[in-house]
Amino acid sequence: MIKAKVFVTLKPSVLDPQGKQVMNSLHSIGYDNIEEVRVSKFIEIKLKSDDLERAEDEIHEICEKLLANPNTETYSWNLEHITGE
Amino acid sequence: MIKAKVFVTLKPSVLDPQGKQVMNSLHSIGYDNIEEVRVSKFIEIKLKSDDLERAEDEIHEICEKLLANPNTETYSWNLEHITGE
């Protein structure tokens, strides 16, 4: 079995209203040390096959087709073999 | 400046409807190799101070007070020094 950890993050040029709101909340309760907050998605995907090359291709496709909005987001991932959990 | 990367994930015992829906979508377009999908939050926080100990304390507090729901979620983080970006 393979586990993919996929990060889908807003492009740096894209405004992140959720992150901005978290930052404002933190400032309002006294955390003045906070400079910026960006909220992204972290998606863990378990794949049945142990074929790393297949997993690599599938995760790439899945990011393109479903997980990321190519207009506003970028993505990256890493893969690891796992034993059944 | 310090960047904190914070992961807020549902506890393994907690159902993840969003992850389930992503999995169903993937199955419906032919990705039968997918066993499980879990969707989590990944939050990047920039801190002005270069004091790692202070950052450690603040990020821990912020997770407790704002970012994570202690009933259903767990969190972890790592810190790194960055130069101004």
pLDDT at A39 (0 to 100) = 97
Residues with Cβ < 8 Å from A1, sequence gap 6 or more?
A46, A47, A48, A50, A81, A82, A83, A84, B35
Q: Domains of chain A, with CATH numbers?
A: 2-14+40-81 (3.30.1280.10)
Instruction: Report the candidate in A80, A72, A70, A85 with the shortest Cα–Cα distance to residue A6.
Output: A80
What mean pLDDT is predicted for residues B64-76? 96
Q: Complex ipTM, two decimals?
A: 0.90
Indicate the pLDDT class of residue B83, thresholds 50, 70 and 90: confident
Read off the tokens for B85. Answer: 């970006």
Instruction: Indicate the residue of B29, B33, B45 with minimum beta-carbon distance to A49.
Output: B33
pLDDT digits (tens, 9 = 90+) for A59-82: 999 999 999 999 999 999 999 999
Please state, as a whole number, how many other Cβ atoms lie within 10 Å of the Cβ of residue A23.
20
pLDDT at A83 (0 to 100) = 86
Residues with Cβ < 8 Å from A80, sequence gap 6 or more?
A2, A3, A5
pLDDT digits (tens, 9 = 90+) for B15-53: 999 999 999 999 999 999 999 999 999 999 999 999 999
Cβ distance of A33 and B19 shorter than 8 Å: no
B window 38-77, beta carbon within 8 A of A: 38-49, 54-55, 58, 62, 65-67
Indicate the pLDDT class of residue A16, thresholds 50, 70 and 90: very high
Residue A35 touches partner B, C-beta closer than 8 Å: yes
Instruction: Indicate the residue of B26, B29, B48 with minimum beta-carbon distance to A33.
Output: B48
Cβ distance of B34 and A25 shorter than 8 Å: no
Read off the tokens for A37. Answer: 């907050």
Cβ distance of B29 and A65 shorter than 8 Å: yes
% chain B with pLDDT above 70: 98
